[in-house]
Amino acid sequence: MDGTVLDTESLTLVTGATQGIGAAIARRFARAGARLAINDRTTSPAMDTIVREVGGVAAPADVADRSRVAAMVHRLTEQSGPIGTLVCNAAYMSMSPFLEHPLDDWWKIVDTNLTGTFHLIQEVLPSMRALGVGRIVVVSSYWGVIGWPDATAYAASKAGLVALVKTLGRELAPEGIIVNGIAPGVTSTPQLEVDAAASGRSVAEIEELYARGIPAGRVAQPDEIAAGVAFLADRRMGAMVGTVLQVNGGEVRGRV
């Protein structure tokens, strides 16, 4: 236990939870006593490992596919009870100069990151409304706040999540369903392999390059992002609504 007061009775669904930030979130929530459903696009040894580690249930589904999300949520609620906490972390990223970005890849990024979050929240809301309370935490990115060269689709999709958090925060708070977001800065996860490949560097070299522009002098660790997500999901944090918490080592200090 780390002092965080999370929902330990209803189910917590964490998407994109088999590696990186998602896996760190699942572990953090498990330590606080949460009952977890672990999502990724498909079943895999990585999913089996994290499910066993946190004592959760597997919830495979491509969040970009509305029918699969609906089936996943229905199965979870039928077998494990209502979902009271949702962490929308599933994401896809590729990098390309703007004029060279293939249209189908643009839509894959937007459909996974932004539309997938829309699907998840719409499907989970009936559970939360039945409970009369809920917590939704959306994982955006500081690239959705400041933009980034060669990551137009990713940054645009993450900027859309910022607006979604602010809008749903206003809409759902009167029902006791609290929506907030987090915008991680550069974090040491497998996603950095995309950045490294695009720049022709190793992962270690791209981490060092990014660290030079961060006041803290280093990239973030997944556990630090997970701590921020747990803070936003804390049942005592009912007055924080529609906020996007920035965790980026001081690189971006503006208010979002």
Contacts of 196 (CB under 8 A, 6+ apart): 202, 203, 205, 206
* Residue 215 placed within a domain: no
Average pLDDT over residues 91-96: 95
92 catalytic, yes or no? Answer: no
pTM score:
0.95
Residue 15 lies in a domain: yes
How many structural domains is the chain composed of? 1
Identify the pLDDT of residue 130. Answer: 96
Specify which of 160-164, 194-198, 216-220 reaches the highest per-range mean pLDDT: 160-164
How far is residue 192's CA from residue 147's CA, in Å, rounded to a whole number?
16
Q: What is the CATH number of the domain that holds 233?
A: 3.40.50.720
Average pLDDT (95-100) is 95
Which pair of structure tokens corresponds to residue 220? 């973030």
Residue 50 lies in a domain: yes
Residue 205: inside a domain, yes or no?
no
* Burial (0-12, 13-18, 19+ Cβ within 10 Å), 206: buried
In this structure, is residue 194 part of a structural domain?
A: no
With respect to residue 4, please indicate whether it lies within any of the assigned structural domains: no
Q: Name residue 139's beta-bridge partners.
A: 182
> What is the reported pLDDT for 46?
97
What is the extent of the structural domain holding 233? 11-185+220-247
The Cα–Cα gap between 155 and 8 comes to: 34
Is residue 254 pLDDT above 90, yes or no? no
Mean pLDDT, to the nearest integer, of 7-13?
97
Banded model confidence at residue 252, pLDDT cuts 50, 70, 90: confident
65, part of any domain: yes
CA–CA gap between residue 247 and residue 253 (Å, rounded): 9
Residue 203 lies in a domain: no
Cβ proximity of 58 and 41 under 8 Å: no
Helix (H, G, I), strand (E, B) or coil at 123: helix
Catalytic residue among 92, 142, 154, 210: 154
